[in-house]
């Protein structure tokens, strides 16, 4: 090996020629592929090392792609500042970072023109895949996204969704069931629910879980105790005030998310009542805040960060959309009992 050969950059072709193999075989060794014999691999690796081979930027990229490393993953929200989104971002970022990938956080505004612009931008930056964490996403927009041909995963999809696209969500039905069963076991019979928007699948599933628990207990559900909220604080306040002003108010309220449960607290306090002495409250989500409020909230823990991490790993594992299994994966929820639930007043 002369000093001249050191000064010129050593290429894959040089290494292939010296080893007496094809350039494709050298690439396979560089990419850690299994379909190379052990003796050829050892020989190529020795030459790569002796000749001081430094991969080009293009080769580094190809290697990273072959190993499932690197690149950008699009995460799309309606609002990235909710506690739910914050947990999603935390989980997704961690999973992406473990693979030396990174996440782009975007808000997707409605309308074909906005979606089209966003798709152009995504194509322009060469993203590897898309995680949709949207509460509203029309079938037409889903078709537009599908045309990109990128691996796409819906996280906890909350409306009608194209069954071609795999989705990852929490066990909403089981969570609604567990929350209601807990209240029944404490002795409550008049249990109200404040739902999320009914166009969201997760709202429908939580309500169905609530109904199933009541039916299993032989209680049946009273339509007067089903209030329809929108997952926001103000709807928790308004729905609770209406429920409390009924001639036969409930002794417990299951709020279908934690933000609404905070509204339930405020309304109960406004009527001069106390949680859980006068009325029990259960939430859904287990955002960090739920343990800081007074009293700490009994709630259904959604593995939000885990859902997002799984979505990112699913996207990273699939170089081609066609290979994504058309599945719905559900991660289990768990009831976290804190201080907002107690037996009903005597």
| Binding residues vs its own copies (CB under 8 A) | 57, 61, 70, 72, 79-83, 85-87, 89-90, 93-94, 97, 100, 102-107, 109, 117, 121, 124-125, 233, 259, 262-263, 265-266, 269, 288-289, 292-294, 305
> Toward its own copies, which CB reaches closer, 289 or 336?
289
Quick check: 297 and 283 in contact, CB under 8 A?
yes
Task: Please report the beta strands in the chain, taking only residues with DSSP state E, as ranges in sequence order.
Answer: 72-77, 102-107, 129-133, 152-155, 167-170, 191-195, 226-228, 252-255, 280-285, 298-301, 328-331, 334-336
Q: Buried (b) or exposed (e) across 315-328, using 16+ Cβ within 10 A?
A: bbebeebeebeeee
Task: Report d(CA 263, CA 235) in Å as an integer.
Answer: 7
- Shortest Å, Cβ 82 to its own copies: 7
> Toward its own copies, which CB reaches closer, 94 or 330?
94
- Shortest Å, Cβ 298 to its own copies: 16
Here the tokens at position 49 are 């090392």
Task: Report d(CA 295, CA 290) in Å as an integer.
Answer: 9
- Shortest Å, Cβ 75 to its own copies: 8
> Toward its own copies, which CB reaches closer, 90 or 144?
90
Task: Report d(CA 87, CA 289) in Å as an integer.
Answer: 12
- Shortest Å, Cβ 152 to its own copies: 17
Number of H helices, E strands in the chain: 13, 12
- Shortest Å, Cβ 132 to its own copies: 15
- Tell me the three-class secondary structure of 132-153, residue by residue: EECCCCCHHHHHHHHCCCCCEE
> Toward its own copies, which CB reaches closer, 98 or 337?
98
> Toward its own copies, which CB reaches closer, 9 or 97?
97
> Toward its own copies, which CB reaches closer, 11 or 78?
78
Rg, the chain, Cα only:
27
- Shortest Å, Cβ 159 to its own copies: 22
């Amino acid at each position: 090996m002369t000093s001249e050969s050191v000064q010129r950059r050593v290429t894959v072709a040089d290494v292939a020629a010296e080893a007496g193999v094809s350039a494709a075989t050298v690439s396979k060794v560089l990419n850690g592929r299994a379909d190379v014999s052990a003796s050829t691999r050892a020989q190529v690796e020795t030459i790569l090392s002796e000749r001081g081979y430094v991969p080009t930027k293009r080769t580094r990229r190809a290697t990273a792609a072959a190993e499932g490393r690197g690149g950008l993953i699009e995460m799309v929200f309606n609002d990235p500042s909710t506690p739910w989104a914050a947990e999603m971002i935390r989980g997704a970022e961690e999973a992406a970072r473990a693979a030396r990938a990174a996440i782009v956080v975007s808000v997707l505004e409605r309308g074909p023109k906005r979606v089209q612009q966003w798709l152009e931008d995504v194509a322009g930056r060469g993203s590897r895949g898309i995680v949709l964490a949207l509460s509203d996403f029309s079938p037409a927009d889903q078709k537009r996204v599908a045309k990109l041909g990128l691996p796409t995963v819906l996280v906890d999809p909350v409306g009608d969704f194209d069954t071609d696209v795999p989705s990852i969500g929490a066990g909403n039905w089981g969570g609604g069931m567990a929350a209601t069963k807990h209240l029944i076991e404490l002795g409550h019979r008049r249990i109200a629910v404040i739902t999320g928007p009914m166009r969201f699948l997760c709202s429908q599933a939580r309500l169905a879980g609530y109904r199933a628990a009541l039916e299993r207990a032989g209680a049946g559900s009273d339509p007067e105790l089903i209030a329809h909220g929108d997952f926001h604080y103000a709807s928790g306040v308004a729905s609770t005030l209406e429920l409390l002003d009924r001639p036969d108010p409930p002794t417990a309220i299951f709020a279908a998310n934690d933000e609404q449960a905070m509204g339930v607290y405020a309304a109960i306090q406004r009527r001069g009542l106390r949680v859980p002495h006068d009325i029990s409250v259960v939430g859904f989500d287990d955002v960090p805040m739920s343990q800081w409020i007074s009293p700490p909230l009994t709630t259904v823990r959604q593995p939000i960060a885990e859902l997002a991490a799984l979505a990112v790993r699913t996207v990273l594992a699939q170089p081609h959309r066609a290979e994504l299994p058309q599945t719905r994966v559900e991660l289990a929820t768990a009831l976290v009992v804190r201080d907002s639930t107690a037996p009903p007043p005597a």
